[in-house]
Amino acid sequence: MRILIVEDETSIADGLKFNFEQEGYEARVVTDGPTALELLNDGEFSFDLVVLDLMLPGMSGYEICKEIRGFNENIPVMVLSARSSSEDKAHAFDCGADQYVTKPFDLHEVLSRVRNLFKWRSPDSGASSAMRQSAVFEFDHVIVDCRKFQVIVDSVEHTLTTMEMQLLRYFIENQGMVLSRSRIMEDVWSQSPDITTRTIDNFVMRLRRIIEPDSSKPKYIHSVRGTGYKFINE
């Protein structure tokens, strides 16, 4: 697995690179957004994860994340930032981030989150054997393939980001249950529930646009007033 580290603080970048390589990953460091985007767009290089700082010279991490999502929905993006407010986290997730870890960070937590993201991206790994047992779900006109991160609706293929797929799978596997926003944030994002509800609502809105026959009148992902959501397949 190859990791692209986008970080302009040398001590942090070098420390991450060293520890990722100790874990058996390949790691490369760049210090600005344009260089990162050039590498990610270059067919000569292939990365499996982007570790991204938000406060970078010239181009913010938010902008970089949006640009990445414009041409690559698949690659996981993990933000490492000194910004710790719920608004900053919500904005990062809205831009397409999959994980958010605040600085100063615990190295064991970072490595654990990296392993979790790779587990989702690697359906052949032993760690994801349980996922493979029920990796494809079908209901009405929708086929959800967790292995390929694809949703097929009326023969039209849609590629989901890591977190979009995790959220959709979470809804399907908890069919009929009322799921609070705080529980979703903890179970799917592994984040404390202090992040604004807008984050989850925006992800749900994107999923509805893909799977619902009419996103303004949801058939599958129902809102539960004052609480959260419930997935129904009848």
Indicate the burial class of 86 (C-beta count within 10 angstroms; 0-12, 13-18, 19 or more).
middle
Contacts of 81 (CB under 8 A, 6+ apart): 53, 54, 55, 61, 88, 92, 100, 101, 102, 103
Q: Is the pLDDT assigned to residue 67 strictly greater than 80?
A: yes
Rg (CA), the chain: 18
Q: Is the pLDDT assigned to residue 123 strictly greater than 90?
A: no
Q: Is the pLDDT assigned to residue 134 strictly greater than 80?
A: no
Q: Is the pLDDT assigned to residue 129 strictly greater than 50?
A: no
Q: How far apart are CA 3 and CA 25, in angstroms?
A: 7
Question: Collapsing DSSP states into helix, strand and coil, what is residue 27?
Answer: strand
pLDDT tens, 95-104? 989 889 999 9
Indicate the burial class of 126 (C-beta count within 10 angstroms; 0-12, 13-18, 19 or more).
exposed
* List of domains in the chain: 2-121 (3.40.50.2300), 129-231 (1.10.10.10)
Average confidence score pLDDT of the chain: 87
Query: What b/e sequence results for 12-44 when a residue is b if at least 16 CB atoms lie within 10 Å of its CB, and e otherwise?
Result: bbeebbebbeeeebebebbbbbeebbebbeeee
pLDDT tens, 71-88? 888 899 999 999 988 889
Both tokens assigned to 228: 């959260």
Both tokens assigned to 99: 């994980």
- pTM for the full predicted model: 0.75
Q: How confident is the model at residue 163 (pLDDT cuts 50, 70, 90)?
A: confident
In this prediction, residue 169 carries a pLDDT of 92
CA of residue 117 relative to chain centroid, distance: 8
pLDDT tens, 186-230? 888 776 655 556 778 889 999 999 999 999 999 999 999 988 999
